[in-house]
Amino acid sequence: MSKNILLIATGGTIASMPEDSGLAPALSGKELAAYVPEIRGLCDVNVVQPMNIDSTNMRPADWLRIAEEVERSYDDYDGFVILHGTDTMAYTAAALSYLIQGSRKPIVLTGSQQPMAAPFTDARLNLYQSLLYATDPLSHDVSIVFGGCVIVGTRAHKQRTMSFNAFTSVNYPLPAVIRNDRIVRDSAMGMSITGIPVATAGHADLDAGEKDLPRPKTYSSLNERVIVLKLTPGLTPEVFALLKPHYDAVILETSGIGGVPEYEGASFERAIFDWVDSGRSIVMTTQVSEEGLDLGVYEVGRAYAQHRGILRGDDMTTEALVAKTMWALGQTSDPDELSELFYTPINHDRAPR
């Protein structure tokens, strides 16, 4: 039986056409699907278009609109493919991982580095492979399919601005790669959502058990008052006082494995402790993409390891930290409840503590 897939078009490079001022989203989702006639032999596709924007203009309110489209149509489709610009795709994938948790159906984001109408585009293959992945019975939860790679929705980072392999998976293995029209899964990734080992699960077994799986847990609130602050040489701690009127949480990108400077006459420790003691939150992470944070290694980080209100990003991406902090603060302002939500692994976003 052919799978029913909902294609959610939001704009981005994949939908762009040249205009006087440069590339801008112009093609609709239906027009994009028409460029890939191979879809007709793969699945039945319906298209919705909640927006048609450059992903640079994507905001948390738009994440909620996309999540609402999935939730509204969840019972009517076997999977979802979201066409999205590459610049903020990793943020949206992470946000959807928190807004729609534990989906037994695949929610796949894709896009392209070249517009669909360009002569040497990557758009057609990315769209086809995303639909292929969305129709496979072993696929579930939120992921990005791009350049033949499947990346968990909370682990993606845009690494390249022009190359077709634009995204990398940070601190987590690829659950699958796609070679032309064949999905090759990593059997070392463990169990599928049904508890059937992915290396041995039969499609018939998964289909038979799908009706017994629960609906995902969904959320509809985010706190947008979150900012990323990169510690650069010479930055002074007075910046925290400037941020106080506008933000409830700071994602603080420290040096190396967790270093925070202490300049003579300028105490970051005092400014950070004052920030969290005022009821705000700080998430400590690192500017280094791979291997994560450990505040206990150096003296310049150890002082922050146990202070109430300071959360540790460990091996999470900055994109996931932004989305998770917005989601967690959207549910509670209580420090203990916030900590519990933050440290609970969701869609493989962090190594279990």
Catalytic positions: 13, 86
How far apart, in Å, do the first and last CA atoms of the chain sit?
Answer: 42
Q: How far apart are CA 176 and CA 188, in angstroms?
A: 11
- The two beta strands, 16-19 and 22-25, are antiparallel
CA angle 206–210–215, rounded 5-degree value: 140
**Residue 40, Cβ neighbours under 10 Å: how many?**
11
Cα→Cα distances 229→104, 232, 275, 285, Å: 35, 9, 14, 10
User: Within the chain, where are the H helices?
Assistant: 29-34, 60-73, 89-99, 123-135, 203-210, 239-243, 268-277, 299-302, 318-331, 335-343
